[in-house]
Each structure stands twice: as structure tokens, then as C-alpha cells.
Amino acid sequence: MKVHTIDDMDRLARKAIKARDDGMCRVCGAEGNQVAHVWKRRHLAVRWTPENLLWVCNRHNIDEPEFYESYIGKDIFYKLELLVMQDHSDHLTQEFLSAAAKRLKKLL
């Protein structure tokens, strides 16, 4: 089994989300240059969940989860919120990281 580091996962997420969103900001349609996390990176349960990630421009990397709700939909927003609220202290296991990497690679 490949050992995944946090840096590996962040690079994979960036590449996968840019590919999924065709390099365009999901908010305004301009050329994007970064990944925005609906629920911020500190929430490991959703840090690499594709539904939690959007490719955006500098202007639209907003530090308010509610800002992105209309871009991902209420159902997905609340599903992610429930995951964030649960205790996920075990989410840095290699099994968790491997599963997250597999979901991201499907976007490439």
C-alpha cells in the first residue's frame, strides 16, 4: 500500500479539483488559481472530500462555509456539516488517506 502524506494529499486534491472544475472559478467563471475548502482544512473528515472542494479565483476564496452553500447545494452542504461535527480523530490513518486518494484520482 502506498503511504500518503498530508502534503501528497493536498497536491492530489489541488490537481483533481482543478481538473474537475476545468481550471475555472466555480463562483464567477474566471480563471481560477486555488482550491477553496467549504469546511476548512482543519476539518480532516472532509479536508480531501471532493464535494468540500471548489476551484476558485483569489477573489472567491472566502472563509465562510455558508458562502459556498449555493454552489454545492443544501443537501451536500449539510452532509458535510454533519461529518465536520462528528469526532474524526482517527482520520489520519493510511486506510483513510488511501480511500480519500482513490476518490480524488477518479476526478483526473
For the segment 33-47, what is each residue's pLDDT rounded down to a tens digit?
A: 999 999 999 998 899
Domain assignment of residue 36, given as a range: 6-105
pLDDT surpassing 80 at residue 88: no
Sign of the dihedral through C-alpha 58, 64, 70, 74? positive
Say if 1 falls within a structural domain: no
CA–CA separation, 4 and 25 (whole Å): 28
Angle (deg, nearest 10), helices 94-105 and 6-20 = 20
Residues with Cβ within 8 Å of residue 92, at least 6 apart in sequence: 6, 44
- Residue 15's identity, in one-letter code, is K
pTM for the full model? 0.86
Domains: count for the chain: 1
